[in-house]
Amino acid sequence: MSDDYKPGLIGQFKDKLIASKQQWARDGRLLTGETSSPARNRLPPGQRLVREWPVLDLGVQPNIQLERWQLSVEGLVGSPVRLTWNDFLDLPQSDLVSDIHCVTAWSRYDNRWSGVKATDFLELVKPHQDAKHIVFQSYDGYTTNVTLEMFSAPDVLLAHSWEGQPLTREHGGPVRIVMPQFYFWKSAKWVKQITFLDRDVPGYWEVRGYHNTGDPWKEERYG
């Protein structure tokens, strides 16, 4: 693990909350032992529907001015770009509607996101043949890992807006990842860097007992 993945700001504030989530992982809390599929059941096993949109973070909500915002792409790519806000808005823009499933058992339907589709983003950065894994690194020091295959799905977005409004700071603005097919901890808020790797580097929650993949239909809460 290089210095790049060390948590920066996080850690000091919500130690108790983090410890209790780790304990949940050890105890297998919330597990129903069922599996399902989106075709059979829109609500994954063990989830309950909410109307409001909860906020979850590690006690820091970084405040990034648009003039200072940058998204860097590192690792095994043909174009290791560093995008400014204007560069990002110049990329092809898309709207997608998707459901949120959080590992703490709430789900929220029909969120309308706007931003850049991962598939369009990948055309820009051109991952190498041997790039199989991705780490998202955020302005709060959070990290999470996915495979390139997971990121390449047509419903994955680098989102800057929700319901037609700029994503609020508490929900990860200026830009967050949205990966609807996985528990929401894979959807990095305040994303700062995307690193393409030939090996897997587990992220913040993945090293604290959460599942490495996090498919809600298989109830992959804990690893």
Binding site for Mo ion (CB under 5 A): 56, 102-103, 185
Nearer to ligand MTE, 140 or 206 (CB): 140
CA-to-CA distance for 120 and 114, rounded, in angstroms? 13
CB of 140 to ligand MTE, least distance (A): 5
CA-to-CA distance for 48 and 105, rounded, in angstroms? 6
Strand pairing category for 82-84 and 70-75: antiparallel
25 three-class SS: helix
Contact predicate 115/158, CB 8 Å: yes
Residue 172 partner contact from Mo ion, ligand MTE, none using kind-dependent CB cut-offs of 5 to 8 Å: ligand MTE
CA-to-CA distance for 12 and 60, rounded, in angstroms? 9
Contact predicate 214/180, CB 8 Å: no
Which residues, numbered 121-150, are part of the site for ligand MTE (CB under 6 A)? 138, 140, 142
Under the binding rule (CB under 6 A), the answer on residue 181 touching ligand MTE is no
Under the binding rule (CB under 6 A), the answer on residue 55 touching ligand MTE is yes
Residue 1 partner contact from ligand MTE, Mo ion, none using kind-dependent CB cut-offs of 5 to 8 Å: none
Under the binding rule (CB under 6 A), the answer on residue 54 touching ligand MTE is yes
Q: Report whether the peptide linkage leading into residue 174 is cis, meaning its omega lies within 30 degrees of zero.
A: yes
Contact predicate 93/116, CB 8 Å: yes
Under the binding rule (CB under 6 A), the answer on residue 214 touching ligand MTE is no
16: which 2 tokens? Answer: 């108790």
Q: Please pick, from the candidates 117, 133, 189, 211, the single residue that binds ligand MTE as defined by CB under 6 A.
A: 189
How far, in Å, are 25, 50, 77, 200 from residue 137 at the CA level?
23, 28, 16, 14
Nearer to Mo ion, 103 or 131 (CB): 103
Under the binding rule (CB under 6 A), the answer on residue 185 touching ligand MTE is yes
Work out whether the CA dihedral 84, 87, 91, 94 comes out positive or negative. Answer: positive
Under the binding rule (CB under 6 A), the answer on residue 99 touching ligand MTE is no
Under the binding rule (CB under 6 A), the answer on residue 56 touching ligand MTE is yes
Residue 85 partner contact from Mo ion, ligand MTE, none using kind-dependent CB cut-offs of 5 to 8 Å: none
Q: Please pick, from the candidates 47, 98, 181, 187, the single residue that binds ligand MTE as defined by CB under 6 A.
A: 187
Residue 210 partner contact from Mo ion, ligand MTE, none using kind-dependent CB cut-offs of 5 to 8 Å: none
CB of 1 to ligand MTE, least distance (A): 18
Contact predicate 217/35, CB 8 Å: yes
Residues engaged in binding ligand MTE (CB under 6 A): 53-58, 102, 138, 140, 142, 171-172, 184-185, 187-190
